[in-house]
Amino acid sequence: MSKLQDLIIQYFDEDEEKEIYDQIIHEIQTCDTLWTTYSPRTRNHYVDFVQGRPVAFLFSEKEYCDTYCEHMKEDSNVTVGAAECSKEDRLQLFADYHRSGFEAVIADNGKRYLFIPLEDLINIPDYSSVPLEKRPIINPQLVCSADRLFQCIENNTITPDKELNLLVDTYRAKFLIPVQGEIEGSSITLPTLERSDGAKVVPFFTDIGELRKFDKEENYRVAITEFKQIEEICGNDEIVVINPLGFNFTIDKNTVEAIKNAAASVPDADHSDRAVIYTLPNPPKEFLDDLSTVLDTTQGVEKAYCKGIRSAEGDGLLIVVDCGESDVEETKEILDSIRAMADESLVDTSVQYIAAATNVGRTASDNSEPFFERIFIDATLDPENVD
């Protein structure tokens, strides 16, 4: 048994003693070797969501990591690779976790495991007091949402909420592009890459780490740009690819329109306030049973869905209500009525109610099973013919 695994067991056996927790953190930061997981599809760390939080996986033994990878392949048909991380590369690993949008690490998943906030392992930089023009370009939310979606291609588990998050994050991001020529005079040339099918694509990058995979010798100057330039390039029937040596998100004229439509469907909040919608691993049964009673007595409700939602304010519940043919005013009255009658004391988190007819509501409910569905009986049938 590894020293880290021994410490984790001791930590829980001794009522989560802080002194032992500090020893665990020190061991993770300084031990000779750890193992982490990566996705061959995105060529980046493997990301999973635990109650809406993007997490990375670390293992104290290669055997533990290999077992996890085998489990993912057998149970979920997802290919996950194992990568060794030496003590010398540990700080870079944690910085890369931050760049990739992780908020926590799970140590020794499959054994006695521990959930560790990333800020306990590394000092996460705070750029809030730095002028916008002087902040480094990183896009952790975009990298995370892209990695999450493209990982799902292998086992065909892409969902509308994952697509929406990627498209909105792309619209709101700033990018780095390699250029030749004078940036100040706008006399620049953008390099292109040739795909296996012969098509030329213009590379964009989420951060300097991804750009350096392309420009290892630093032959190009670097400029900062936004989605508007992607739109302009694709408008000329050219193709843009974001992180070609990473998740490799290809954008053409049709994709640009999808990105714009997605951005228009969500509130125009600050990027950091964008909410993540996710499927709840353990829906709150007592609350949903009570809510179903409320919905059953509320005229105009046909179906309802429950999702998790995570925003800058924290985790919460998103209740999507299908109000059938009701108009906007009627729908508002229905939602207000439900909100007033629901017993939210049955859950220890915030609850939001939205209509299924909204763009976000359609995205959240698509390909989902309702927890409430009104049963309509044809009154013209004889009683013996009613199923």
Distance of CA 111 to the CA centre of its chain: 25
The confidence band for 24, taking pLDDT boundaries of 50, 70 and 90, is very high
Q: Does the pLDDT at position 271 exceed 50?
A: no
Torsion on CA atoms 278, 280, 285, 291, rounded to nearest 10: 0
- pLDDT confidence tier of residue 269, bands split at 50, 70 and 90: very low
pLDDT in tens, 167-180: 999 999 999 999 98
Q: What is the pLDDT of residues 313-334, one digit of tens each?
A: 678 899 999 998 888 889 999 9
State the sign of the Cα–Cα–Cα–Cα dihedral 129, 133, 136, 137: positive
Looking at per-residue pLDDT, the higher value among 269 and 34 belongs to 34
Q: What is the fold, at CATH topology level, of the domain defined by 3-120? A: Trna Endonuclease; Chain: A, domain 1 (3.40.1350)
Please count the CA atoms within 13 angstroms of the CA of 21 that sit on its side-chain side.
11
DSSP reduced 3-state for 305: strand
- What are the extents of the domains in the chain? 3-120, 132-272, 276-373
Helix, strand, coil percent content, the chain, rounded in steps of 5: 40, 25, 35
Instruction: Go through the chain and tell me how many residues it has.
Output: 387
Token representation of residue 14: 């001794």
- Provide the total of helices (H) and of strands (E) in the chain, helices listed first: 12, 19
Q: Give the DSSP H or E segment for 13.
A: helix 3-13
**Contact in structure between 226 and 169 (CB atoms under 8 Å):** no
Instruction: Please give the sequence-ordered ranges of beta strands (E in DSSP) within 209-363, or none if there are none.
Output: 221-226, 239-242, 249-251, 276-278, 303-311, 314-322, 350-355
Please count the CA atoms within 13 angstroms of the CA of 255 that sit on its side-chain side: 21
CA atoms within 13 A on the CB side of 215: 21
The CATH superfamily label for domain 276-373 reads Cation efflux protein, cytoplasmic domain (3.30.70.1350)
> What residue has token string 């990027």?
271
Tell me, what's the pLDDT at 227? 97
Using alpha carbons, select from 347, 344, 372 the residue that is nearest to residue 284.
347
**Residues 91-102: tens digit of each pLDDT:** 999 999 999 999
pLDDT grade, residue 272 (50/70/90)?
very low
How many other CB atoms sit within 10 Å of the CB of residue 125? 12
Decide: 213 and 245 in contact? Cβ < 8 Å: yes
| Buried-exposed string 170-183: b where 16+ CB fall within 10 A, e elsewhere | bbbbbbbbbbeeee
Q: Give the three-class secondary structure for 175.
A: strand
Candidates 377, 378, 357; CA nearest to 303 is 357
- What is the percent of the chain with per-residue pLDDT over 70, rounded to a whole number? 91
Report the pLDDT value the prediction gives residue 270, as an integer from 0 to 100. 43
Q: Are 98 and 124 in contact (CB under 8 A)?
A: yes
What is the per-residue pLDDT for 220?
A: 92
Q: What percent of the chain has pLDDT over 90?
A: 67
> What pairs with residue 226 in β-bridges?
174
pLDDT per residue as tens digits for the range 26-64 = 999 999 999 999 999 999 999 998 866 899 999 999 999
Q: Are 46 and 87 in contact (CB under 8 A)?
A: no
* CA–CA dist 331, 361 (Å, integer): 13
Q: Looking at the predicted structure, is the pLDDT value of residue 285 above 80?
A: yes
Q: What pLDDT is recorded for position 310?
A: 77
Question: Do residues 37 and 69 lie in contact, with contact meaning Cβ atoms separated by under 8 Å?
Answer: yes
> What pLDDT score was predicted for residue 280?
85
Bridge partners for 249 per DSSP? 242
Taking each helix axis as running N to C, give the angle between helix 160-172 and helix 253-264, from 0 to 180 degrees, rounded to the nearest 10. Answer: 100
Low-confidence winner among 210-224, 324-338, 371-385 (lowest mean pLDDT): 371-385
Average pLDDT in the chain: 89
pLDDT (tens digit per residue) in 104-162: 999 999 999 999 999 999 999 888 788 877 889 999 999 999 999 999 988 888 888 88
Sheet with 193-194, edge to edge strand ranges: 193-194, 200-204, 239-242, 249-251
Please give the average per-residue pLDDT across 360-375, as a whole number: 83
**β-strands 314-322, 350-355 pairing:** parallel
Question: Would you state the structure tokens that stand for residue 96, as one six-digit string?
Answer: 């890369």
Give, rounded to a whole angstrom, the gap between the first and last alpha carbons of the chain: 59
CB atoms within 10 A of CB 129: 5
Mean pLDDT (whole number) for 351-380: 80
